[in-house]
Structures are given as C-alpha cells and as structure tokens.
C-alpha cells in the first residue's frame, strides 16, 4: 500500500484510499493505514479474477474493519448477490457493492440478482457504486442500457450511492471513453440535488472528509 499511502500524504488531506489485504497484515499495519487515510478494504469474489476469498479470513476482516470504523467494498459476480445475500444481510459495517453488482443489462431489471440487490439496499449498511456501465451493458458504447439499472439503484437508496469512472478500466470487453462515462451520469441522476448528494455528500460521509 506504499504508493497509495504516499499519494494520500501528498494530497494534503484531499484524498482517501482503500486497501486490498491478505492474512499477513498486522494490527500495526492496519493502524498505519488508518493514520495514512485508508478507510476501506476491498474483496474480490469475481471468478475470472481468482474467485471468492477464504471466508474465514473474510469474517475476521469484517471484525477488524468494524473496529477501525472502515467499510467493505465487494466486487461480485451477479450470481454472488443471490448466493451470499444471507451473509451480507448479517454484516454490521458499511459495505459498498461495486459496479452495480455486475448484473447483465440484457437480463432486465426483473432478474433475480438485481432484485436481490435492490432488496439489500433496504439495509442501512448497504451501499452501491453506480459505476461500471461498460461492464453492465450488453450493447456496448455508449452503454446507455446500463442507465435504467443505475437509476433504479439511485431511487432505492439515494443516501448510499457512490459514482466513479473505474479508470483505467481493466479486464473490459469494450474500452470506454471516460468523458462519455461522465456524460452518462446526469442520465442516471438528473436532479442537481441528487448529483450533489452522490458526488459530494455521500462519499464525504463514508470516507470521513
């Protein structure tokens, strides 16, 4: 995490960061990361990127995260939303579902993984990032078929939605134009007050700015 911590330090307090960890991380390292501006741990469940973590390690990390006042970021395949829904509902720390849960736009708003995600957002600890339109889309650029999914998520939990471009876009079928992704955002949240909430208020609250 040295590069991330260095960037946060150089920002003069303008940046926060998240960590990817393994079982070797000590309490001292956790405290050093916290002092350096880290506020979350990201877990990958996606099969083509190595698959789910060791679940005992996952549970131990949830306890550590809770003690630090951090949050989780969960990178999932859509099917994981259904399989792990009982576990996720028991988690008592904020957890951010990345990339709209990687649902497939072609499967429609009524698909079981997306319905599960919408229901999960009734839990006050559940957050979602309306990024990754290029991953959700089934039609390709400009990825407009992902917009209804983002809009539904914004309507479900406007206080717990984040946004980002996901630059530099690793492992994608279609390499997006970042300006075009920015142009999609007002279609996901047309209202100025919602835009401010998603871009400013929500991340400030979650990351402790």
Between the two ends of the chain, the Cα-to-Cα distance in Å is 20
- For residues 37 and 82, membership in a common domain is answered with no
Cis bond leading into 142, ω under 30°?
yes
User: Is the Cα torsion angle 71, 75, 78, 79 positive or negative in sign?
Assistant: negative
Question: 171: phi > 0 → left, psi -120 to 50 → alpha, else beta; which?
Answer: left
The domain tally of the chain equals 2
Q: Is residue 70 in some structural domain?
A: no
- For residues 115 and 156, membership in a common domain is answered with yes
Residue 50 pLDDT more than 90? no
Query: Could you tell me the CA-to-CA distances from 5 to 24, 39, 96, 179 in Å, in that order?
Result: 18, 11, 21, 28
140-144 contact pairs (CB < 8 A, 24+): 140/173, 140/174, 141/174, 141/176, 141/177, 141/180, 142/180, 142/183, 142/184, 143/174, 143/176, 143/180, 143/181, 143/184, 144/184, 144/187
- For residues 43 and 133, membership in a common domain is answered with no
Note whether 163 and 198 are within 8 A (CB).
Answer: yes
Q: Is residue 200 in some structural domain?
A: yes
Q: Which residues pair with 161 in a beta bridge?
A: 128
Domain that holds residue 102: 76-209
Note whether 78 and 112 are within 8 A (CB).
Answer: no
**Residue 77 a catalytic site member:** no
Q: Is residue 68 in some structural domain?
A: no
Instruction: Give the pLDDT confidence of 138-167 residue by residue, as tens digits.
Output: 999 999 999 999 999 999 999 999 999 999
pLDDT band at 128 (very low <50, low <70, confident <90, very high): very high
Residue 49 pLDDT more than 90? no
- For residues 115 and 170, membership in a common domain is answered with yes
- For residues 91 and 170, membership in a common domain is answered with yes
- For residues 84 and 59, membership in a common domain is answered with no
- For residues 198 and 99, membership in a common domain is answered with yes
| Cα–Cα distance for residue pair 79/171, rounded to 1 Å | 19
- For residues 109 and 144, membership in a common domain is answered with yes
- For residues 54 and 124, membership in a common domain is answered with no
Where does a domain end: 30, 63, 96?
A: 63
pLDDT score at 134: 96
Q: What is the mean pLDDT of residues 175-184?
A: 96
Q: Is residue 71 in some structural domain?
A: no
CATH number for the domain that contains residue 144: 3.20.20.140
- For residues 39 and 127, membership in a common domain is answered with no
Q: Is residue 69 in some structural domain?
A: no
- For residues 81 and 48, membership in a common domain is answered with no
pLDDT score at 141: 96
Q: What is the mean pLDDT of residues 31-56?
A: 94
- For residues 58 and 157, membership in a common domain is answered with no
- Three-class SS of residue 55? helix
Q: What is the mean pLDDT of residues 127-146?
A: 97
- Choose the catalytic residue: 77, 80, 98, 166: 166
For residue 172, the tally of other CB atoms under 10 A from its CB is 12
């Amino acid at each position: 995490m040295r590069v991330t911590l260095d960037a946060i330090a150089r920002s003069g307090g303008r940046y926060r960061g998240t960590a990817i960890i393994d079982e070797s991380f000590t309490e001292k390292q956790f405290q050093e990361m916290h002092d350096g501006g880290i506020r979350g741990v990201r877990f990958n469940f996606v099969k083509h990127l190595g698959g789910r973590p060791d679940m005992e390690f996952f549970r131990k990390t949830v306890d550590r995260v809770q003690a630090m006042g951090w949050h989780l970021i969960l990178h999932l395949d859509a099917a994981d939303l259904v399989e792990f829904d009982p576990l996720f509902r028991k988690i008592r720390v904020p957890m951010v579902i990345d990339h709209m849960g990687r649902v497939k736009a072609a499967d429609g708003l009524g698909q079981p993984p997306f319905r599960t995600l919408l229901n999960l957002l009734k839990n006050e600890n559940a957050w979602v990032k309306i990024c990754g339109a290029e991953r959700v889309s089934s039609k390709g650029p400009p990825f407009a078929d992902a917009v209804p999914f983002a809009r539904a998520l914004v309507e479900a939990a406007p206080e717990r939605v984040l946004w980002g471009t996901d630059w530099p876009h690793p492992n994608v079928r279609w390499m997006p134009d970042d300006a075009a992704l920015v142009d999609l955002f007002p279609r996901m949240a047309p209202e100025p007050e919602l835009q401010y909430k998603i871009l400013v208020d929500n991340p400030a609250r979650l990351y402790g700015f």
